[in-house]
Amino acid sequence: MDKNRVDGLASQVKGAVKETAGKVSGNERLEAEGVADKTGGKVQEGVGKGKDAVRDVLKP
């Protein structure tokens, strides 16, 4: 598993926590940061998946 996949999943979890905390506390900025972190995590995870796929294809 590529490091980007792990980091991406971690960012998604962090974003979900921030988003929920923002919703509960009424802090729109924190909620928006959470959404941004989740989105960035999804992109990073996708990069990791792509690298894994290329690596699998290139294996002898």
Per-residue model confidence as pLDDT tens for the chain (60 residues)? 889 999 999 999 999 999 999 999 999 999 999 999 999 999 999 999 999 999 999 987
pTM to 2 decimal places: 0.86
Q: What pLDDT is recorded for position 58?
A: 93
Token pair for residue 47? 């990069």
Residue 42's φ and ψ, nearest 5 degrees, are -65, -40
C-alpha–C-alpha distance, residues 60 and 53, integer Å: 14
Is 2 within 8 Å of 53 (Cβ atoms)?
A: no
